[in-house]
């Protein structure tokens, strides 16, 4: 009887050992997920179609040509929130930037890897602006649920690329704007955690970090549809807030004061 119990115990132990040998610890799995996300966020990628030209390719080609036609003082670089300076924010753009040699390189739907690809493929060739206003990452949160470490790694790679291509360019790095109505929303929290990481990038030479997010929010942290109707993209009032909030920093970086 004792022999049978011992045999059963050894057999069960062997089964457990075999199973455990195939189980990846939770911490290791989480780290693998983060590393895979970092690779996605930092590897340049385009959004062109293989069978036909789409709006993204057309805009990229047009902006690459436009970038080479002038000596730009300011370049805004980002996703749809930046792209929409041309629509919802046009009135404010004309007021603040039209006479300042400013170029809009915002592309709706872009994530960090798409901005990297655009910088490597024509939009930043022989372009040396005085200042780049950079905000990117909310689509990494919204489209793919990238962890903050991955988004921050993508932002850092963009900064490195800009600095390599144009060492004299100063970068005004903006905190990713708030999204979703409540502070507790997972997408809001993901952006906030990312902002805590990219804030550290201001330690790099030529990088100024600015968080203007509170200007869009009510005192309790709620994001109002009066500012962002879809709780993501500003309307005209939001673009006015944006421009007014960054103006002191922008003027200083452009050496316009005095």
Annotated catalytic residues are 80, 230, 233
**Cα–Cα distance, 193 to 36 (Å, whole number):** 19
Q: H/E element holding 36?
A: helix 26-42
Count of beta carbons in the 10 Å neighbourhood of residue 200: 12
Burial of 187 (0-12, 13-18, 19+ CB in 10 A): middle
Rounded distance between C-alpha atoms, residue 60 and residue 92, angstroms: 24
Question: Buried b vs exposed e over 34-68: b needs ≥16 C-beta within 10 Å?
Answer: beebbebbbebeebeeeeeeeebeebbeebbeebe
3-state secondary structure of 109: coil
């Amino acid at each position: 009887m004792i022999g049978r119990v011992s045999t059963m115990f050894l057999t069960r132990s062997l089964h457990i050992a075999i199973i455990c040998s195939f189980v990846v610890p939770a911490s290791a799995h989480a780290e693998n997920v983060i590393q895979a996300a970092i690779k996605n966020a930092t590897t340049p990628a385009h959004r062109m179609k293989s069978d036909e030209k789409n709006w993204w390719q057309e805009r990229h080609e047009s902006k690459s040509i436009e970038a080479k036609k002038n000596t730009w003082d300011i370049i805004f670089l980002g996703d749809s929130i930046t792209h929409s300076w041309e629509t919802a924010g046009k009135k404010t753009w004309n007021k603040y930037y039209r006479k300042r040699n400013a170029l809009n390189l915002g592309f709706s739907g872009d994530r960090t890897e798409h901005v990297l690809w655009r910088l490597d493929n024509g939009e930043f060739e022989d372009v040396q602006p005085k200042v780049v206003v950079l905000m990117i990452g909310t689509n990494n949160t919204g489209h793919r649920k990238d962890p903050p470490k991955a988004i921050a790694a993508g932002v850092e790679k963009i900064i490195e690329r800009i600095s390599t291509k144009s060492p004299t360019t100063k970068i005004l790095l903006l905190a990713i704007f708030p999204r979703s109505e409540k502070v507790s929303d997972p997408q809001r929290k993901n952006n906030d955690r990312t902002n805590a990481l990219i804030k550290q990038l201001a330690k790099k030479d030529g990088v100024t970090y600015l968080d203007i997010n509170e200007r869009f929010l009510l005192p309790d942290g709620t994001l109002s549809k009066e500012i962002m109707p879809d709780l993501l993209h500003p309307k005209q009032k939001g673009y006015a807030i944006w421009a007014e909030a960054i103006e002191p920093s922008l003027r200083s970086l452009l050496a316009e004061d005095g």
